[in-house]
Amino acid sequence: MAIVPIFTAMIRACIFDLDGVLVDTAHYHFLAWRRLANQLGFDFDEKANEALKGVGRMESLDIILGWGGLSKTRPEKEALAHQKNEWYRAYIREMTPGEVLPGVAGFLDQLDAQGIRKGIGSSSKNAKTILRQVGLTDRFEVIVDGTDLQRSKPDPQVFQLGAERLGLSPRECIVFEDAAAGIEAALAGGFWAVGVGDAEIFPGAHIAIPGLENLHWSALLEKLPL
């Protein structure tokens, strides 16, 4: 009888979104955008804020202006985005290693022990500042951030660039994301997608986990339909 080889995908790297997966900057983005909306005369809540997660700065501003029924010229938009970023940067300048989310350091250690490579795939132009503030820069071999991108999540460009710089194919990489737009981006690029947070937010993800705390590499691999 002929022996039919069974090929299973080999995972060689994990690519992490930053905001909301490794650190809780998603909340600082919310506070700064909300302050801007309030200044413009309207409000929005954390539930509405879900739509902004993973989405680039100018794209987020367009969504928010839409909520307020406002239209602005390009120079006005640039001034508003700049103002929001100033408020946001005041938060991140105060960040310390204590703000790395629970379980992150331990999970990165597990990956090191298994020889799994690690990258960042973030839409944020502030990603490198945040990584430096919380002492995580040296833990990642490859960092793709908003300064590298022409297209915002849900476009897969951010993760494709990450895989390219690692010299790997998407099927060799697992993406960890807290945003619906990020999971969409990972799936569109052909990556394995792990949703971090409330499972309802990303029905398409291969797996959903509440966070990296108590996450075991071997248990995660068993759950992926490799």
Name the residues that contact Mg ion, by CB under 5 A: 17, 19-20, 178-179
Binding mask 123-162 for ligand BG6 (x = CB under 6 A): xxxx-------------------x----------------
- 128: region left, alpha or beta (phi > 0 left; psi from -120 to 50 alpha): alpha
Decide: residue 62, CB within 10 A, 0-12 exposed, 13-18 middle, 19+ buried.
middle
Q: Which is nearer to Mg ion, 20 or 189 (CB)?
A: 20
Tokens of 116: 């799994």
Please list every residue from 184 through 223 that binds ligand BG6, using CB under 6 A: none
Q: Which is nearer to ligand BG6, 60 or 160 (CB)?
A: 60
* First-residue to last-residue Cα distance in the chain: 26
Question: What does residue 175 show for φ and ψ, rounded to 5 degrees?
Answer: -100, 135
Sign of the torsion formed by the C-alpha atoms of 63, 68, 70 and 75: negative
Residues 6+ apart with CB under 8 A from 130: 18, 19, 23, 25, 92, 95, 124
- Out of 23, 122, 156, 177, name the contact with ligand BG6 by CB under 6 A: 122
- The full 3-state SS of 158-170, as one line of letters, equals HHHHHHHHHCCCH
Structural tokens at position 206: 């291969």
Find tokens 């970023």 and name the residue. 85
Options 19, 145, 155, 178, the catalytic residue = 19
Among 29, 34, 139, 206, binds ligand BG6 (CB under 6 A): 29
- The amino acid occupying position 9 is A
* Contacts with ligand BG6, 85-104, as mask; x by CB under 6 A: x-------------------
Q: Which of Mg ion, ligand BG6, none sits in contact with 52, Cβ below 5 to 8 A by type?
A: ligand BG6
Q: Which is nearer to ligand BG6, 124 or 168 (CB)?
A: 124
In the complex with ligand BG6, the residue whose CB is nearer, 48 or 221, is 48
Instruction: Indicate the residue among 123 and 133 with the shorter CB distance to ligand BG6.
Output: 123
Q: Quick check: is 19 catalytic?
A: yes
From the list ligand BG6, Mg ion, none, pick the one residue 60 interacts with, judged by a Cβ distance below 5 to 8 Å according to partner type. ligand BG6
What is the pairing mode between strands 192-196 and 117-121? unpaired
Active site residues: 17, 19
Binding residues for ligand BG6, rule: CB under 6 A, are: 19, 26, 29, 52-57, 60, 85, 122-126, 146, 179
